Each structure stands twice: as C-alpha cells, then as structure tokens.
Amino acid sequence: MAMLESFANTFKIPELRKRILLTAGLVFICRLISMIPTPGVDWQTLQQELERIRETAGAGGGLMDWFNVFSGGALNQCAVGFLSIWPYISASIIIQLLTAVIPTLERMRREGESGRVKLAQITRYLTIGICVFQSFALATALQNPASFGLGGVQIVTRPGFGFNIMTVIAMTTASLLVMWLADQITQRGIGNGTSLIIMINITSRLPVAIIEAWTRYFGLGGITATRSPIELLLLLLFGFLITMGTVMLTQGVRKVPIHSTRRAAGGGNSYGMQQTYMPLRVNYTGVMPIIFAGPLIQFPAALLSRIPAEITWLGWLKWLGVQLSDMTSPLHLAVYALLIMFFAFFWVATQFNAMQISDNLKREGSYVPGIRPGRATAEYLDALMTRVTLIGGLGLLIIALVPQFLRGMMELPWEMASFFGGTSLLIIVGVALDTLRQMESHLLMRNYDGFLKHGRLRSRR
C-alpha cells in the first residue's frame, strides 16, 4: 500500500510529472518507429518465412528469435526502426574496449568533460558507420532470401541498387533518431534513455508471451490446451524466485573498508579519521557477457549449418553448426557457459583499473586497513575483484542458462522462456531499479517517502 502511495506521489511533483510524461511520449515515438515497414518490402511474406524458420528450430530460428525480442518485434515487418538503439550500443562498447588499449582515447577520458564530449562525438560517428553497414547487409539479405535460409520467395518488390540506397537511408535515419530520443530521455526525462528503450522493446513482446501461455495451458480460438495449469503455477513461482535472485545479483556489492584522514576543524596539525567503504559490484559486468556470447555462437552456427550436404569432407563442420545452433544441445550449453565466464573476466580486466583506484585513494589520503598504499593496494583490489567476479559470473551463468533449460526440458516457446532469465530479465530488472531509484530521489528531495520502508534503492552502476 505504501508503495502505491509513493507512485501516486510522483504525479504530485510538477517537475517529476513532466519528466514521466515526456519519457512516455518519447518512448511511444520509439515504438512507432519500430512498427513502420521498410518501403519496398513485402513484410507479410517475410513474416510467413520467419514463422517457417522458427518451426524448423534451426540456427536461423535462434538468430531470428534473438533479433525479434531485442528489436521489439520490428523484424516481423522489417520496420525502418529494426536497428533501433543497438548500433549506438555497439559503438559505445567498441569505444570502451578501445579506450583500454589506445593511449589517445585513454587521455581523452582523463580530460574530464571536454574529453567525454570528444569520445561521445567519436561514438556517434562510429554509430553512423555501423548503421550503414548493417542496413546495407540487411538490404542485400532481403534481395537474396535463399542465401539466408528464407526460401525462394520474393520479399523485395523492386530489388536493385535503388532499394539498397533507400533502405540504408531509412534505417540509418531511424536509428539516429532513436539515439537522439534516448539522449532526450536521459537529459529531460526519467531514467537512462538507452537502457529504457531496450527494456521497452523487450517488454513489448510480453503480450505475445501471455497469449502463447494462455493457449498452451487453457486453449484459445479452438486450439486445445496441451499442458496442465499446474505447470503454469509452478512456472510462475519459479519466475518469481529467479527474478528475486536477479535483483540480489544486480544489487549485490562487496564492501571494502576505507579509512580517510583529514584535518580536523579549527586548523593546526590535528587530524580526524573518517571511515567509509568502497562498493565492488558483484555483477560488475552487467549483461555484457551474455550480449557478447549469444551472437558469437549463433552467427558461426548459422553459417556452418548451411554448408551444402554435397561437400562431404566438410560434414563435421556442418554437424558442429547444427549442434551449436540447437540451444538445448550439451555442446551449445557448454560453449555458451565458457564464453559467458570468459567475457565476465575479460570485461573486468579491461574496465576495472585497480592501479588507478589505488592512486586515487593515495592522493586523497585514504587507504585500506592493513594494506600498504600504492601497488599493494592495487594487488589486493585486483585479487578481491577476481573472486567477486567469479561469484558474479557464476550467478550470471545460472540466469543466462535458465531460458535454454526451460526451452529444452519443458518445450517452452522462446517468447515465453526469454522472460525467465537471460539478457531480457537482467535488462528489465536493472533498468527498472535504476528508473525507480531516480524517481525515489525526487520524492526524498521533496520530503516524500521512498518506495522502500527501510533503506533506499541502490544504483546498479
């Protein structure tokens, strides 16, 4: 009841109400962009072919399901907003990784606000390049559907160079518009615009998942139910538990005690001691390992599984592609798990700079009790972060594998299984917590109660 009152209080604050309504309006525009079909594409034929691929449960089906969930269903009608915010996210990830290895980019990051502006500009230029490449590749695939497992149907009504140019311009413009809307949400709305758009794209598939669940357990439109409603009850209970575990993983931190010395009030040589802590997030990598691992398996699997059967000496590669494409096969699960753990440690190794943190602590007159300042502190933080990453990586691995196990053991459709773990659940939980935290900050600033009776929501960053 108290939480409902807190939500009602959000509309009593004029500034917060304005931010919420602005965010809702901009998100509506983003969803509208993801529903406008690309000119020249017979999206109804495309939708029929995609449905056929899903029924075959091949590598293409895995890729199509992944694209459809994260584009908010834009793939079904080949919308101009199919690329959505993902080219900008890809560019941001590339720049973050390059910053750790290119000294020029590292110096830009250390320059403060001016350096961040330069990095943001470079990221936007890279976004344009990624948009052009991806949209041109998609236009080529649509004009050659047989090469990509879409059968011998004609999807593009007027193929040719003109269609390529029109598709590149339309999709690049739509993606850049979504990027700009995301910036407006971050600056003038509530929450992080980029993350919020991704979450809305994912949750837009929830009605489809609900319809599939109703058809599966209760029947719909003359279709007889195939499973008992008791299974649905157990599934909902399991979903609650996995969501609770995801919240704990997202919010979990390892507190490192920090002692700071500072001059006492009144001058002189007397010093006071301040005790605080440094939070090391258990899930420091966020959703990045899953985002990296999924396509890294599916793309090679899609290519290998399409090796012609006539080339017998490459039969083992075709078998490998088929096994990797099957999300329930032991080989796919083993490779997927290894990639997630690898990228968890790789991301921490490139983004967590223990030496820089140690230097900052030393410069501020702070230290970890029992540890010498300087290199000893850096080695201690690095070893501690390695252990924390192991725990966080294992938790991330469990959440990531849940949809695959549900799909294999219970034969759940991907639209349903994706909401019980994996990237979808991690993004939904993380973005929801961040958005609620910002709303709670506005409430507390104006002497309203927060969403929690005890404590406050913690940022995942």
Backbone angles phi, psi at 306, to 5 degrees: -100, 15
Task: Look at residue 58 in the predicted model and tell me its pLDDT.
Answer: 47
pLDDT along the chain (461 residues), means of 10: 68 85 93 90 80 59 66 81 88 85 84 85 93 91 71 79 92 94 91 88 87 87 84 92 91 89 54 78 86 79 74 77 80 89 89 88 87 90 93 91 85 83 85 84 72 56 53
Task: Look at residue 341 in the predicted model and tell me its pLDDT.
Answer: 92
For residues 438 and 451, the answer to whether their CB atoms sit within 8 Å is no
If you count DSSP H runs as helices and E runs as strands, how many of each does the chain have, helices first?
18, 3
What tokens does 267 get? 């001058």
Task: Look at residue 166 in the predicted model and tell me its pLDDT.
Answer: 93
Residue with token string 């973050």: 96
| Best CA proximity match to 238, nearest among 50, 51, 412, 434 | 412
Q: Give the DSSP letter of residue 148.
A: G
Give me the domains of the chain, ranges plus CATH numbers. Answer: 23-191 (1.10.3370.10)
Backbone CA torsion sign across 440, 443, 444, 449: negative
Residue with token string 């991301």: 347
pTM tops 0.85: no
Task: Look at residue 148 in the predicted model and tell me its pLDDT.
Answer: 58
